[in-house]
């Protein structure tokens, strides 16, 4: 009863203590059934929701934690999501709340969504995902829209999110935000990254209609091809989004299809040094499209047309640059600063499974010199990226007829030695063991 009284008080400090007591009750209760019964008998859940929407930030944070813990108890979900429309309904609370309170309710939904697939299902069945749609559709207050998108961005991080979110009209609304020229660039950027997260798994393409994805890609294409667009952050977000979509074979094939030809932006910006941020974002996206994040047997795409288009894009970028050939272009990436070089290793690791790229790499001994040099990188991330690239080239060669070309024997030897050496050991590093020193007392 003292918890109930504490939640009803006007004092924020006492409310905060009462909310902490609820967390303690759920954590330390020897009998979970008794804790749940306490919630029901003393009507604690509606009081917690009231603290969430009306309390200060500290109180609302504790309430979020308490309700999440309640949701982790099997019988607790019946309190949060009462059957047959009984009890407290979150969507009704949201309809009567201020914009800040609605954002807090969205935060609660995101927390509960990540608790388990059961709570995610309950959220879908309670039609609570429509609250996100309502907030994103109404773009009169950009700060409120951005807050809703930030919460949705967190929700989209959960593994099972796309299975639920893509069955709503959220992607269409997100596409509308990206297409809205009156929206702030930060709002469009966040919307773009959410779409990338939603489409970064193979399941996504079995859930949603292709036309919805095409409309999204056309909206992103508009950002990347608008010459007046000088907002670097928005362009970087668009490139990162394409990298997320290109992580799967389905996504990569779609990016490399004609139309919308959207992968051309990624390739062109990967080899264009105008703007370091865009350059890095494009390189990382290209690595993903080329398959560096996919299983080894899925790196090459099943679609011959998509593969041919990727090849044409790389050769076109090379011919339009002072380097003229892909091998010289790739070498120039590896000769830049460490961050660009790490992104370059990713691109090379993905591209080299293709015979045409393997030939290009083997035609430039300097590339092999860099990826086999144990002293090239000084950070753990750099060493591992360089080594992964070295292993990728070595594997590609081992399954290619180029393996038996006499002219490449020295190059193959260097690769084999570098792979045996591992990512961290320098070729000349010797381990110095500690040596005991013996001396007389007078010496010391």
Give yes or no: residues 141 and 209 share one domain. yes
User: Considering only 65-69, 74-78, 307-311, which range has the smallest mean pLDDT?
Assistant: 74-78
Average pLDDT value for residue range 193-198: 92
**Same-domain status, 90 and 158:** no
**Residues in CB range of 351: below 8 A, 6 or more apart:** 290, 314, 330, 357
Query: What is the residue-averaged pLDDT of the chain?
Result: 85
Q: Are residues 262 and 203 in the same domain?
A: yes
Running DSSP on this structure, what letter comes out for residue 158?
S
Q: By C-alpha distance, which of 332, 363, 335, 361 is closest to 348? A: 361
| 430, part of any domain | no
Model confidence over 391-407: pLDDT tens digits?
999 898 888 776 667 67
Counting Cα atoms < 13 Å in the Cβ hemisphere of 302 gives 7
The pLDDT, as a whole number, for residue 84 is 65
The count of domains in the chain is 3
**Same domain membership, residue 241 and residue 155:** yes
Q: Is the pLDDT at 344 greater than 90, yes or no?
A: yes
Neighbouring CB atoms inside 10 A of 175's CB total 22
203 shares a domain with 333: no
Question: Residue 147 pLDDT more than 50?
Answer: yes
pLDDT at position 238: 94
Please say if the pLDDT value at position 52 is more than 70.
Answer: yes
Are 248 and 205 in contact, with CB atoms under 8 Å apart? yes
The residue segments making up the domain with residue 191 are: 127-225+233-290+304-320
Domain co-membership, 149 together with 186: yes
Beta strands in 378-441 (DSSP E): none
Compute the distance between CA of residue 105 and CA of residue 432 in angstroms, rounded to an integer. 60
Give the CATH number for residue 133: 1.25.10.10
Q: Is the pLDDT of residue 360 over 80?
A: yes
Percent over 90 (pLDDT), the chain: 35
Helix, strand, coil share of the chain (percent; to 5): 70, 0, 30
Tell me the average pLDDT across 168-181: 90
What pLDDT band is residue 429 in, cutting at 50, 70 and 90?
very low
The whole-number average pLDDT for the span 334-351 is 93
Contact 283, 333 (CB under 8 A): yes
- Going by pLDDT thresholds of 50, 70 and 90, the confidence category of residue 229 is low
**Sign of the alpha-carbon torsion through 111, 115, 117, 122:** negative
Whether 1 and 40 share a structural domain: yes
255-264, 287-296, 303-312, 428-437, range with the lowest pLDDT: 428-437
Q: End-to-end CA distance of the chain, in Å? A: 72
The pLDDT of 324-344, averaged and rounded, is 91
* Residue 240 located in a structural domain: yes
Q: How many CB atoms lie within 10 A of CB 27?
A: 10
Tell me: do 176 and 264 sit in the same domain. Answer: yes
Contact 255, 262 (CB under 8 A): yes
Q: What is the pLDDT of residue 248?
A: 92
Specify the pLDDT at position 15: 87
4 lies in the same domain as 141:
no
d(CA 101, CA 286) in angstroms, rounded, equals 41
Domain annotation covers residue 433:
no
Predicted pLDDT at 174: 93
Q: For residue 430, what pLDDT band results from cuts at 50, 70 and 90?
A: very low
Residues 35 and 156 in one domain: no
HSE-CB at 129 with a 13 A cutoff on CA atoms is: 23
DSSP-derived secondary structure for 116-131: -HHHHHHHHHTTTTHH
Percent of the chain past pLDDT 70, that is, above it, reads 91
In whole angstroms, how large is the CA radius of gyration of the chain?
Answer: 28
DSSP annotation of 435 reads -
Residue 370, pLDDT above cutoff 60 = yes
Give yes or no for residue 175 having a pLDDT over 90. Answer: yes
SS3 156: coil
In a domain, 257, yes or no: yes
**Would you place residue 426 in the very low, low, confident or very high pLDDT band (cuts 50, 70, 90)?**
low
Coil vs helix vs strand at 137: helix
Residue 432 has pLDDT above 70, yes or no: no
Domain-embedded: residue 121: no
119 Cβ partners below 8 Å, 6+ apart? 71, 77, 80, 81, 112, 113
b/e sequence 185-215, b meaning 16+ C-beta within 10 Å: bebbbbbbbbbbbbbbbeebbebbeeebbbb
- pLDDT of residue 183 exceeding 80, the answer is yes
* Position with higher pLDDT, 323 vs 248: 248
């Amino acid at each position: 009863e003292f918890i109930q009284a504490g939640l009803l008080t006007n004092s924020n400090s006492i409310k905060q203590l009462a909310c902490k007591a609820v967390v303690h009750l759920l954590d330390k209760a020897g009998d979970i059934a008794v804790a749940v019964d306490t919630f029901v008998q003393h009507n604690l859940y509606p009081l917690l929701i009231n603290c969430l929407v009306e309390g200060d930030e500290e109180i609302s944070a504790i309430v979020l934690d308490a309700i999440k813990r309640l949701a982790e108890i099997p019988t607790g979900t019946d309190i949060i999501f009462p059957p047959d429309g009984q009890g407290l309904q979150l969507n009704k609370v949201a309809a009567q709340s201020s914009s800040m309170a609605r954002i807090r309710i969205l935060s609660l939904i995101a927390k509960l969504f990540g608790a388990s697939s059961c709570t995610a299902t309950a959220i879908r069945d309670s039609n609570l995902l429509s609250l996100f749609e309502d907030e994103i559709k109404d773009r009169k207050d950009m700060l409120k829209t951005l807050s809703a998108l930030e919460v949705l961005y967190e929700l989209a991080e959960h593994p099972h999110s796309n299975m639920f979110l893509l069955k709503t009209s959220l992607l269409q609304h997100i596409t509308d935000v990206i297409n809205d020229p009156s929206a702030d660039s930060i709002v469009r950027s966040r919307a773009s990254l959410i779409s990338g997260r939603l489409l970064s798994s193979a399941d996504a393409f079995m859930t949603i209609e292709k036309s919805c994805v095409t409309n999204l890609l056309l909206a992103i294409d508009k950002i990347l091809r608008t010459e007046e667009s000088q907002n670097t952050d928005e362009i970087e977000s668009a490139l990162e989004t394409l990298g997320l979509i290109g992580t799967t074979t389905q996504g990569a094939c779609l990016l490399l299809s004609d139309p919308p030809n959207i992968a051309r932006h990624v390739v062109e910006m990967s080899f264009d040094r105008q703007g370091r941020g865009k350059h890095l974002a494009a390189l990382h996206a290209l690595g993903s499209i080329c398959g560096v994040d996919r299983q080894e047997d899925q790196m090459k795409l099943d679609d011959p047309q998509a593969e041919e288009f990727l090849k044409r894009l790389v050769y076109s970028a090379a011919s339009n640059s002072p380097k003229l050939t892909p091998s010289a272009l790739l070498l120039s990436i590896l000769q830049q600063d460490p961050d660009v070089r790490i992104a370059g290793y990713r691109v090379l690791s993905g591209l080299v499974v293709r015979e045409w790229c393997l030939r290009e790499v083997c035609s430039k001994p300097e590339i092999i010199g860099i990826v086999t040099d144990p002293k090239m990188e000084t950070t753990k991330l750099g060493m591992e990226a360089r080594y992964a690239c070295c292993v990728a080239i070595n594997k590609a060669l081992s399954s290619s007829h180029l393996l038996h070309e006499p002219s490449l024997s020295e190059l193959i030897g260097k690769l084999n030695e570098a792979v045996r050496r591992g990512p961290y050991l320098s070729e000349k590093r010797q381990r110095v063991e500690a040596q005991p020193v013996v001396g007389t007392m007078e010496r010391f």
